[in-house]
Chain A
């Protein structure tokens, strides 16, 4: 080889699924001590390429060379033995085992499990990486973010030659991402080759050295990071020019209400058992607002309370030094309503896309179309009634609108790429056509092109009179869509920004506690 720094070579990889040519003659090269971004739209074939490399899927053609030698990898265990460690897009840990076991199972020699040593080692790593978990805790008891960190800890600890990270950052907050990047840089210095998949373009430019772009299962090209500025990268991924940072607020009209309109939803001293400080909140017809703050600041808990997903505690107010219960704590369109649980929220026309979509996410064996109309069918009567034919028509419309990449509308959802599955769930809630829609991280795991489409769609729905609360960990996304932002810190509302105050720096200073 002309390049003895080459760690991994994949030549002419072909992989077909029934009806889908997921990879068509793709080449991929990785050097020692290099962080290599693998980019592409949802369904471009990134995860498939990775799974072919790690032996999850058998390949239909092509060769893989590691350190210049051809290798045959038939299972993830083979890959591990060859020094390839992987964090898959979907969390692939066992929820019934302890944190430590999840870090050590399936690797190492000998046939005994040495609990004491394993727990001690695991605790050391957990502490080093600052992961808020203990070795002997059952993994299923940890939050998704912690589980993701555990998966990363496992992969990092493996002394691998090749480290693969498939969208590891989608459920992590900024600090955790920084920590991960620190780790990646350390490993890079040790000569490890890292493959990094993400849809956060900023992150790519922060840590990566090279970019390989895939589109529709085909290789677009391999680029040095300095040769491919953001706009060009987006163009390469989408196959067309687009500025994903342009202002879109002005494009769609705004809803023309008059000021005497009562808020669609209004609440006083809302609080829940999830430890949120009481807060007041309202949203007008056709308004898009959002909760912002660091991950864990309580923004998700706020909307969960609004939707009744956590137990809502009665609000109290101070009248002449005495605490009395607020009678009309929650009002919708001026009328007092009781929202105690998700059911009653939905009855009142509120729909909610949860942040953690793995839990009640998708029904893998049902078709894309049936998954989209699932909520609509269950909630028959709560919202506008549709006939099945109409529902199908809507589903098909949203498949197009959200650019869901699927062989057909009847394909089972489980064979879609991770991002496209997210889109299916999003479509499900958008389709409900509620009065008030709450979207928690709707663009997580979704590619740049569609992200913009979703933002536009949100504005479009709002201009049609829907009220929408939008939460995203990407602040610029919120700035592009929301007309009012509620700022959270330490589970408390600390400010509200609108109009000219809607800037990155104002948000940051409000979060930090600046006046």
Chain B
């Protein structure tokens, strides 16, 4: 009788997405534990992790949106520019309007700008069939240019309602610490982190449990097949860019909440960090593979490494750059080795 057994055991059951996610999480924890053990002090305090979250909530949100586009098989390099533009516009609106701007209106501005970018870029990519790299490259230049047009000199935003929002801290009971003098500092996160984590949950649900979410994966896996399976490929691509744009807008606002100022140099190179985070988080540039929670861990890994480098006294920018490069290579290497191994064991 013919043999019809399933081959490859457990490897067979695990999807590429879950496998890469697993690798990311394991590496993140190893790295963090390593930091606690070898660098001690700061890293053993929960607040260190919270600080990473506090100052990178914007990056997390940007990386989430980018992951959606990358899972769909595209790319968006305009996100950093959009964040910069949003920050500048909101800062100018809140600080320079006579009588002071309204905080809620500034939020609308942020989301509006992101949405506009998403709509236009999505339209060009999906319905005019232009390479996403080119479209969003143009988008990036446009956003950066607009930022300079809006305002050139750096300034702080003094708007009181905004300051109140900016300084809101959400304390986390039980995780604080005592200084040597016995003063208690509570652990806290900022509003941006709550927004970012909420978005992680929402996007996770969207990607896992909605038809649209699965369509992103299908289109990224194989465009032609997705079309034949009855998926509206153009609309799916379009929506991935819209989501990414809106998230970049929100990320811009969260970033703005963290920095509280307007400057043309804000968020420069953020798109590259976001791409790196998504990749470290297990999203493949070729599309179809990726995990939203993985992206969160990708950002955390990236920022932790930066922090480790800094705490080792190698604060200069090039050290961070070099370690990130090394880390990216390591991750890509591990990913490709594991995927290849998996293919090998499956080969009948």
Contacts and interface: CB of A to CB of B under 8 A. Distances in A.
A138 B16 contact: yes
Interface string A84-106: 00101001111111100110011
A295 B3 CA distance: 10
A96 B220 contact: yes
B346 to A, nearest CB: 5
B228 A92 contact: yes
Contacts of A483: none
Contact of A134 (B13, B209, B210): B13
A182 interface: no
A88 B209 contact: no
Nearest to A490: B3
Nearest to A175: B2
Interface string B197-232: 000000000001111111101101110111111111
Nearest to A136: B13
Interface in B1-30: 1-6, 8, 12-17
A98 B3 CA distance: 23
B231 A106 contact: yes
A490 B1 CA distance: 7
Contacts of A107: 230
A375 to B, nearest CB: 21
Nearest to B212: A111
Interface majority SS (helix, strand, loop, mixed), chain A: loop
Contact of B16 (A96, A102, A105, A143): A96
A97 B218 contact: yes
B347 interface: yes
A196 to B, nearest CB: 18
A111 B211 contact: yes
Contacts of B317: none
A112 B210 contact: yes
B341 to A, nearest CB: 13
A111 B6 contact: no
B249 interface: no
Contact of A94 (B211, B213, B226): B226
B227 A56 contact: yes
Interface stretch (A16-24, A60-68, A75-83, A335-343): A75-83
B234 to A, nearest CB: 10
A113 B217 CA distance: 13
Contacts of A391: none
B294 to A, nearest CB: 15
Given A134-B13, A274-B347, A274-B348, A94 B217 contact: yes
B202 to A, nearest CB: 14
Interface in B228-252: 228-232
Contacts of A98: 15
Contacts of A444: none
B229 A102 contact: yes
Nearest to B226: A94
Contact of A112 (B6, B209, B220): B209
B288 interface: yes
Contacts of B210: 111-113
B75 interface: no
B229 A296 contact: no
B289 interface: yes
Contacts of A110: 211
Nearest to B219: A94
A140 B14 CA distance: 11
Q: Which 5 A-B pairs have the closest CB atoms?
A: A106-B230, A96-B221, A94-B221, A96-B288, A92-B228
Given A86-B228, A92-B224, A106-B215, 5 more contacts: A79-B230, A97-B221, A105-B211, A105-B229, A138-B15
5 contacts: A91-B225, A96-B289, A105-B218, A133-B6, A490-B1
